């Protein structure tokens, strides 16, 4: 949403000729003040710093240094159950046709041999905001418009704000534990990693997060990394927040992995050898579903494929913890790399989001690897 609104508003400003503070794509040779809504400038002849005030008409100004930026004025105030006022940030790659100098992005994920980044933040008290690091990906080498996948890393969360979607568990990446959220803002899918306590600096591999998202079935190695960004999403206040340093290096030289053949699946034992719990949450034009498979048999299930039919008017749009495909009403949900084995008495969990037309109803029967399962 933030990119979509930015593009619409920026187009209007360009048409009106109202870029008054800093021209898009300018260069900051000394401290530069940007108050223009979508003004940007270049630092280190490598990165772009942007004001990106997309969610409010109130004034926001940033002071750009040779290594980052600081918010000097933030007059916007949005309710915490809605969108933030802005996303002032520094980025490497391409953002709405504004590409950082000499960038090698977009680059196909399979071609990346390493992707490292470091970030240092300056925080303030008394404001409601998140310190956000964004990784954008798309099935095509896209340099404009909205990308289909946004990875958000929340290094600091202040106030009663929350990521898009709902929590789906926790994970450990780059030596830290993160709460994982998953959802869609209507324009793109979002997976967010939320730190339990503020992190002021981090030096890490961007590929660790990309690979985790890939393992969740949200992208494949054929997708493209288009940009990485670091900044703040303020809801209320925020003057004094700053990115004091930022670096990003993405190196090619990777190789496309050979096609993989799905592991053969082991049928569960017959006679109530499996059970499925299907927990939906529906609204007027959409729904989510959380699905839990239980192995009631005496032997381990190695590789699973759950099949069933969705009622008319339901269409899966994105999924997590499984590769979900739909043809007409028929749905196939196959395990991803990390959850293919279900021990006796164990469970596997996946979920998805979809669109809804008409009244909601749940599937009535399920089969696991071709064997009927009990519905619980």
Q: Which residues are catalytic?
A: 150, 233
By the 8 A CB rule, do 129 and 241 touch?
yes
DSSP three-state, residue 10: helix
Residue positions counted in the chain = 376
**Closest alpha carbon to 90 in 55, 128, 29, 134:** 134
By the 8 A CB rule, do 109 and 211 touch?
no
- Half-sphere exposure at residue 21, Cβ-oriented, CA atoms within 13 angstroms: 21
Pairing of strands 305-309, 366-368: antiparallel
Q: Which residues contact 123 (CB under 8 A, 6 or more apart)?
A: 131, 156, 158, 198, 200, 241
Pairing of strands 40-43, 26-27: parallel
Tell me how far CA of residue 284 lies from CA of 105, 313, 331, in angstroms. 39, 12, 22
């Amino acid at each position: 949403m933030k990119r979509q609104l930015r593009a619409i508003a920026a187009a209007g400003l360009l048409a009106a000729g109202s870029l008054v503070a800093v021209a898009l794509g300018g260069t900051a040779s000394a401290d530069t003040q940007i108050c223009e809504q979508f003004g940007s400038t270049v630092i280190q002849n490598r990165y772009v710093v942007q004001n990106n005030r997309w969610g409010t008409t109130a004034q926001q100004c940033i002071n750009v240094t040779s290594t980052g930026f600081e918010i000097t004025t933030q007059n916007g105030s949005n309710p915490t159950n809605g969108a933030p006022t802005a996303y002032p940030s520094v980025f490497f790659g391409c953002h709405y046709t504004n590409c950082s100098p000499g960038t090698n992005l977009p680059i196909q994920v399979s071609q990346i041999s390493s992707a490292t980044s470091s970030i240092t933040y300056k925080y303030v008290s008394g404001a409601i905001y998140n310190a956000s690091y964004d990784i954008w990906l798309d099935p095509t080498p896209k340099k404009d418009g909205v990308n289909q996948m946004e990875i958000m890393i929340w290094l600091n969360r202040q106030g009663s704000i929350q990521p898009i979607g709902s929590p789906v568990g926790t994970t450990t990446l780059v030596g830290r534990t993160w709460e994982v959220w998953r959802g869609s803002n209507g324009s793109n899918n979002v997976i967010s990693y939320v730190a339990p306590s503020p992190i002021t600096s981090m030096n890490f591999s961007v590929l660790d997060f990309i690979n985790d998202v890939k393992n969740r079935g949200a992208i494949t190695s054929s997708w493209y990394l288009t940009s990485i960004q670091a900044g703040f999403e303020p809801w209320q206040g925020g003057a004094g927040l700053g990115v004091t340093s930022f670096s990003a290096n993405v190196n090619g030289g990777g190789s496309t992995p050979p096609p993989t053949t799905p592991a053969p699946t082991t049928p569960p034992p017959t006679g109530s050898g499996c059970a499925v719990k299907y927990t939906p949450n529906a609204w007027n034009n959409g729904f989510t579903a959380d699905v839990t498979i239980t192995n009631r048999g005496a032997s381990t299930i190695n590789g699973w494929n759950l099949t069933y039919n969705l009622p008319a008017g339901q269409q899966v749009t994105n999924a997590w913890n499984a590769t979900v495909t739909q043809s007409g009403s028929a749905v196939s949900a196959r395990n991803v790399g990390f959850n293919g084995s279900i021990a006796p008495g164990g469970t596997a969990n996946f979920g998805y989001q979809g669109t809804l037309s008409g009244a909601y109803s749940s599937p009535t029967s399920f089969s696991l690897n071709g064997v009927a399962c009990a519905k619980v």
